[in-house]
Amino acid sequence: MKIELDCLPCFLRQALEASRLASADESVQRRILKDAVTIIGDYDSYAYAPEVGRAIHNLVKQHTGLSDPYRELKQRNIELAKQVYPDLKHFLFHHREDWLYWTLKVAATGNVLDAAIYGEVQERELLRTELERKFAICDSVEFAKKLQTAKTLLIIGDNAGETVFDRVLAEQLLNLEIVYAVRSGPIINDTTIDEAYLSELDRHARIISSGCDAPGLVLSECKEDFQEEFYRADLVISKGQGNYETLTEVDREVFFLLKAKCPVITEDIGVTMGDYVFMSNKNHR
């Protein structure tokens, strides 16, 4: 999907948040914001919002010398997610009649662990409410049908911490050969190889780098072997808003699993803020 004008103030807000997270020095923050403004002014030379996001977060890295400003936050989110992991399994035990729906819902709920939007991790006590909340759009019946003959599943990961919730999904889909794709380098709080291993996703999936380090998978930038995986997989699940933004027009079926957290996304999908979505690009575009 294209970059909307509403994204522009949000880019600047993200630049400010990231600069403050990475440096307490206001002069550094000011320099980052100055350069971020230049990037934002040039927004129409980018195809997707996550590409602008990457450019902005790269500025933060350049100005602060930190290669991974969100490293600690990512680790904290994974620890937090691991603490609630037993609750997730318990939740699924109590929802075993419609196990696939609720397993997908668990993976979608992991998407609340998004520092780029929330600023801080959702409180544990809110988790239950979020878990119980149903999908606003759900193509799980269609997904279930395809699951009967599918042998391989590619999951395109999103944030660190959310990865632990995705592990629950991978555990439930026992019969599939699962590939879990991550960013090729640190970008915001997105998962890289490191965080995927820290989340113990390797127990249930083969972890691969997509070759792209934008906070949304830009297929044309990906490594050839990833692109092969992408087109070869019987099923593809794309997690989060960033991947949605870059993959909506792609030439194969993708199931998007996300929580809608910004007005541009809610408008595009046709849901309301905070809604959970599991939808195929074949049904809704």
What's the closest the beta carbon of residue 170 comes to a second copy, in angstroms? 37
Which listed residue (1, 21, 23, 29) binds a second copy by CB under 8 A?
29
Binding positions for a second copy, 36-65, rule CB under 8 A: 37-38, 40-41, 44
Determine, following the binding rule CB under 8 A, whether residue 30 of this chain makes contact with a second copy: yes
Stretch that binds a second copy, among 26-34, 73-81, 228-236, 256-264 (CB under 8 A): 26-34
Determine, following the binding rule CB under 8 A, whether residue 118 of this chain makes contact with a second copy: no
What's the closest the beta carbon of residue 124 comes to a second copy, in angstroms? 26
Q: Kindly state the tokens that stand for 213.
A: 């380090």
The site string for a second copy over 129-168 (x = CB under 8 A, - otherwise) reads: ----------------------------------------
Report how far residue 171's alpha carbon sits from residue 110's, in angstroms, rounded to the nearest whole number: 15
Determine, following the binding rule CB under 8 A, whether residue 79 of this chain makes contact with a second copy: no
Which listed residue (1, 21, 24, 26) binds a second copy by CB under 8 A?
26
Stretch that binds a second copy, among 11-19, 73-81, 115-123, 147-155 (CB under 8 A): 11-19
How many residues does this entry show for the chain? 285
What's the closest the beta carbon of residue 76 comes to a second copy, in angstroms? 25
What's the closest the beta carbon of residue 33 comes to a second copy, in angstroms? 6
Query: Is the Cβ–Cβ distance between 19 and 29 less than 8 Å?
Result: yes
- Strands, sheet with 177-182, edge to edge from the N-terminal-most edge strand: 135-138, 276-280, 255-259, 235-239, 152-156, 177-182, 206-209
Query: Is the Cβ–Cβ distance between 80 and 127 less than 8 Å?
Result: no
- Of the two residues 69 and 211, which places its CB atom closer to a second copy in the complex? 69
DSSP per residue over 73-109, as a string? HHHHHHHHHHHHHHHHHHHHHTTGGGHHHHHHHHHHH
What's the closest the beta carbon of residue 13 comes to a second copy, in angstroms? 4
What's the closest the beta carbon of residue 43 comes to a second copy, in angstroms? 8
Size of the site for a second copy (CB under 8 A): 19
Task: Provide long-range contacts, Cβ within 8 A and 24+ apart, for 208-213.
Answer: 208/179, 208/180, 208/181, 208/182, 209/181, 209/182, 209/183, 209/184, 210/156, 210/181, 210/182, 210/183, 210/184, 211/184, 212/183, 212/184, 213/54, 213/183, 213/184, 213/185, 213/186, 213/187
Which residues are at the interface with a second copy (CB under 8 A)? 5-6, 8-10, 12-13, 16, 19, 26, 29-30, 33-34, 37-38, 40-41, 44
